[in-house]
Structures are given as structure tokens and as C-alpha cells.
Structure 1
Amino acid sequence: MAPSKAPDSSRRSDRSRRAIHDAALALVTEVGYRRTTIEGIAARAGVGKQTIYRWWPSKAAVLMDAFLDLAGRAAEDAGAGAGAGDTGEPAPGIPDTGDLVADLKLVLRATVDELNDPALEAPTRALTAEGIVDAKLGAAFVHKLLDPQLALYVTRLRAAQEAGDVRADVDPRIALELLIGPLMHRWLLRTLPLTHAYADEIVDYAVGGLAPRT
């Protein structure tokens, strides 16, 4: 009789982590952040709560990791769907077709779709709200998720400056706030629908102010 194989502990850990991530995201969507508990996440994931505490210090930390994992998977799926010519590899960052307005509209429309996606909306709102009262969580949210995304805008706007499409005296880090700020303001306050048409208008207004003066 062939000897039995020892269980693969790393694979088991990966399965447990994914189950915990999925449970945390599902509960936040279903019952909200306040009513989500470590005990509830453990029960939903089919693990002991000590397993969760071994890897994370709090439910906020669980949700942060779960959201980063979800965002990473969504980015991979989007990149795989878009492709990048004959290489088959996704093009990183914001597209640079030479048309700044078209490129920014493409990205802001995708951001609108993400913010309107029920699977992403609830955890994003939870982390945004909790980050306001929990400075450590807020800093981690900015460092791990927002800063890498905002850096893509800086890179694209600097390329536009080099091409002469944006004034040389414009600070890209401030300029990107003209694009992201209004979008997030409407999303957070839920005052009006978040649409592709609104994203297009933001780009038109912002780029009009960034363009070289003639």
C-alpha cells in the first residue's frame, strides 16, 4: 500500500484565508460593518475565531485584506479582458493613446462601474467610514489601496505634460484631485446618480482647465 501523503498545510491555509475573506465581504454587504463580527466571520467561513486572530488583530484588518484581495482579483480580470496587443499581457496603468481626454474618460468610467458594483461598494464604504475614526486603518487604506491607484494618474498626467497637452506648471498630484474628488463626493453623499455621463463631464471640465493657454 502506498504511503499516504501528508496534508499540504500551505494549501489549507490559503483555502482558509480565502474563505475568511469571502465571509467578511459577504457579511459586510449583507448586514453592514457595525453588525459584522469576528465570530460571525468565523462561523460563515467554517473556521475557529482563534484562526482569524492568529492572522489579523481586528475585523477591520480582516476586511482590509479581504478588500485588497478582491480589488487585486478584479484588476487581474480587467487586465486579462483588455489585453495588450500581441503579447497577451495586460497593459499596466492608465492607457496612453495620445488622447488624454479619451484615456481619462475610460478610466473614470471604469471607476464609476466599480463604485456602483454591490460587491465592492459595501466594503469600500465600510473602510472609508471606519478610516475616518480609526487613523491607523485610514492610513493603511490610503497607503495600500489609494496611493498606488493615484500614482497611475500622476504618471499619465506627467506624460501629458511632456506631450504638451497639460501646462508645465500644473502639479499632477493636485490635478488628479480635480478628477477623483467630485466623483468620490457624489458617491459618498449619494446626492445624485454616479454615471458615465457625469464622469465624462468631470474630465471635460478638468482637462479644459489643465490645457495650455493660447
Structure 2
Amino acid sequence: MAKKPAPDSTRRSEKSRRAIYAAALALVSETGYAKTTIEGIAARAGVGKQTIYRWWSSKADVLLEAFLDLGEQAAERAGQSGQETYGIPDTGDLAADLKQVLRATVDELLDPAFEAPARALTAEGFVNEEVGREFVAKLLEPQLQLYVQRLRSAQETGAVRPDVDPRIALELFVSPLAQRWLQHTGPITHAYTDTLVDYALYGLAPR
């Protein structure tokens, strides 16, 4: 009598992990961070609480990892369609490169699958210092460092003054976009971020 193949625990674990990611992002989007619980995530994902606690120590860890995975999945889809998958392009044209990546950021911010959990986690980061630190360290700062690298590359080619601090300079176009998105002070569009880049690189004085 032929033996049945043993269950693939790796595949089962990955399926559970995916279900937990989806449940966590859905719940935080629907109810906010404060009302999202490990119990609720487990119930929505169809797993036991012990499964979640085996992999993560808190709901913050679950949500941050789920959010990171969301970005990785988007990057993978972009790669499959031939788009830039990670980082900021370096074509030699700094303005064009910055405009390209900021346009992609606008598209991401306007994607409901990304926007709802991003708003929930960002809002919680303002009132919960621990979550805020984790959000910055794991999600925000690695992205900002990509801008730092691109601006340093531009300094090497003479496109940016050598005395400019890249970490401060990037805030000229990243921070206004973030503020407008968070506070709904105006529409966020490709034209808007293109203008931010022009103002940041060329200033406000007559040319």
C-alpha cells in the first residue's frame, strides 16, 4: 500500500504566515491600531494565537512585518513588469531620477491596499513612542537612505554642492509630500512631486 506523502510543513507555515499578514493589514485598516489585537488577527487568519506568538512577540511586530512584506510584494510585481524594483535610479539626470521615484511613491500612497494600513501605523507612531521608533527604524529610514545615496552620487558628479547635507536636503521634497498626504492639505499628484523636485533643486530665486 503506497504511503501518503508527509505534509509539507514549510508550505503550511508560509500559508499561515501569509494569512496572518493579510489579516493584520485588513484589521488595522478597518479598526485602527488600538483595536487590532492578536486574538483578532488569529481569528481572521484562521490560526491559533500560539502560532502568532511563535513568530512574533507583539502585534506591532506582526503589523510592521506585514507592512514590510506589502512593500516587497509591490516591488516584486514591479520587477516582473520590468520597472525599477528597489532603490533610486541613477541615470545621471538627478531631477529625472527623483521625479521618477516620487511619482512611484505617489502611486503607492494612493493605493488603498497601502494607504489604509500606512495611515493607521503612522497615526499610532505619533502617540506610541515604541511603535514610532520601530516604524522609523524598519520602514522609513531605510527608504530615506536611498535618497541619501542618490544625492551623494550627485555630489560626486558635481550635480549637487559638496557642502550640502544629503540627509537634510532630501527633506525638501520628501517632507512636504508626507505632510500633504497625512493632513489632506491638497492633492498629491505627479505634477505636485515634479514641482517639489524643481523647487528643491533650483530654488525660488530667478534663474
Length-normalised TM-score, structure 2: 0.91
Letter in 1 for 2:11: R
Cα deviation per residue 1:91-140 (whole Å; 9 max; x = unaligned)?
A: 64211111111111111111111111110111111211222233222222
Task: Give the match for residue 183 of structure 2.
Answer: 189
Aligned pair count reads: 205
2: CA distance, partners of 1:122 / 1:158: 33
Q: Tell me: CA distance 1:91–1:25, structure 2 relative to 1, closer, same or farther (3 Å).
A: closer
1: CA distance, partners of 2:59 / 2:5: 35
1: CA distance, partners of 2:74 / 2:174: 20
Task: Indicate whether 1:100 and 2:94 are aligned.
Answer: yes
Task: Give the match for residue 18 of structure 2.
Answer: 18
* Runs of 4+ off more than 3 Å: none
SS in 1 for 2:162: coil
Task: Give the match for residue 201 of structure 2.
Answer: 207
Of 95, 108, 114, the residue aligned with 1:120 is 114
Task: Give the match for residue 49 of structure 1.
Answer: 49
Choose 146-155 or 126-135, whichever is displaced more. 126-135
Choose 158-167 or 32-41, whichever is displaced more. 32-41
Choose 45-54 or 67-76, whichever is displaced more. 45-54
What are structure 2's unaligned runs of at least 5 residues?
none
CA contact (8 A) 2:24 2:63 kept: yes
CA contact (8 A) 1:32 1:122 kept: no
What are structure 1's unaligned runs of at least 5 residues?
84-89
Q: Alignment identity in percent?
A: 70
Choose 34-43 or 187-196, whichever is displaced more. 34-43
Choose 130-139 or 114-123, whichever is displaced more. 130-139
Cα deviation per residue 1:69-107 (whole Å; 9 max; x = unaligned)?
A: 111111121233235xxxxxx564211111111111111
Task: Indicate whether 1:141 and 2:135 are aligned.
Answer: yes
Q: Tell me: CA distance 1:77–1:34, structure 2 relative to 1, closer, same or farther (3 Å).
A: same
SS in 2 for 1:102: helix
Letter in 2 for 1:194: I
Task: Give the match for residue 86 of structure 1.
Answer: none
Choose 52-61 or 148-157, whichever is displaced more. 52-61
Choose 27-36 or 150-159, whichever is displaced more. 27-36
Length-normalised TM-score, structure 1: 0.88
User: 1:26-175 residue pairs with structure 2 within 5 A?
Assistant: 26-83=26-83, 92-175=86-169
2: CA distance, partners of 1:55 / 1:99: 44
How far residue 147 of structure 1 moved from its aligned partner, in angstroms, is: 1.8
Cα deviation per residue 1:142-178 (whole Å; 9 max; x = unaligned)?
A: 2221122111111111111111111111111111111
